[in-house]
Amino acid sequence: MTDEKTEKRRGSFWRELPILVGVAILVAVVVRTFVVQTFFIPSPSMEHTLNVDDKLLVNKLVYDFRDPERGEIIVFEAPREWQSGDEGEDFIKRIIGVGGDHVQCCDAQQRIMVNGHALDEPYLYRDADGVPNQAASEPFDITVPDHRIWVMGDHREASADSLEHWRTGHDIQGATIPADSVVGRAFTVFWPFDRATWLSVPPTFAGVPAP
Please count the other Cβ atoms lying within 10 Å of the Cβ belonging to residue 45.
23
Q: Which of 8, 60, 93, 162 is catalytic?
A: 93
Using alpha carbons, select from 68, 44, 81, 76 the residue that is nearest to residue 165.
Answer: 81
93 is catalytic: yes
Indicate the residue type of 94: R
Q: How many CA atoms lie within 13 A of 34 on its CB side?
A: 8
Residues 6+ apart with CB under 8 A from 117: 207, 208, 209
Q: Which of 5, 12, 43, 45 is catalytic?
A: 45
Please count the other Cβ atoms lying within 10 Å of the Cβ belonging to residue 155.
22
- How big is the CA angle at 139 (ends 73 and 121), to the nearest 5 degrees? 35
Which sequence positions are flagged as catalytic?
Answer: 45, 93
